[in-house]
Amino acid sequence: MIVQARRRAPGVAEGIRVGYTCSKKVGNAVLRNRAKRRLRAAARAVLPALGQDGWDYVLIGRRDQTAHCPFDRLVSDLTYAVTKLHRPPK
């Protein structure tokens, strides 16, 4: 998966907002919906603990990966990505 994030301007909205997308490259509608369901489940597992208030996250499903990889790997990849996004610059 690919994770994109951006900080919202102060006062625009509160909380964490998440969007999900899978293009037709992921597969037919069944595979795209399965990939998005898995992304939503991974986001529910990771973002309440690691996501930051005032940020928007977009999770993008990838062909042959998001719908088929083991769920624990999907969660660990999302955990790594969010941790890296919020790491202070060196």
Residue-wise pLDDT tens digits, 44-73: 999 999 999 999 999 999 988 888 899 999
Does 39 fall in a domain?
Answer: yes
Does 61 fall in a domain?
Answer: yes
CATH number at residue 39: 3.30.230.10
Q: What does the pLDDT read at residue 90?
A: 79
Whether 35 and 49 have beta carbons less than 8 Å apart is answered as no
Q: What does the pLDDT read at residue 67?
A: 86
| Tokens read off for 9 | 């301007």
- 10 Cβ partners below 8 Å, 6+ apart? 54
Residues spanned by the domain of 62: 2-79
Q: Is residue 13 over pLDDT 90?
A: no
Does 14 fall in a domain?
Answer: yes
Does 89 fall in a domain?
Answer: no
What does pTM read for this prediction? 0.89
Distance between CA atoms of 37 and 26, rounded to whole angstroms? 13
10 Å CB burial of residue 56 (0-12, 13-18, 19+) is middle
Does 86 fall in a domain?
Answer: no
Length of the chain: 90
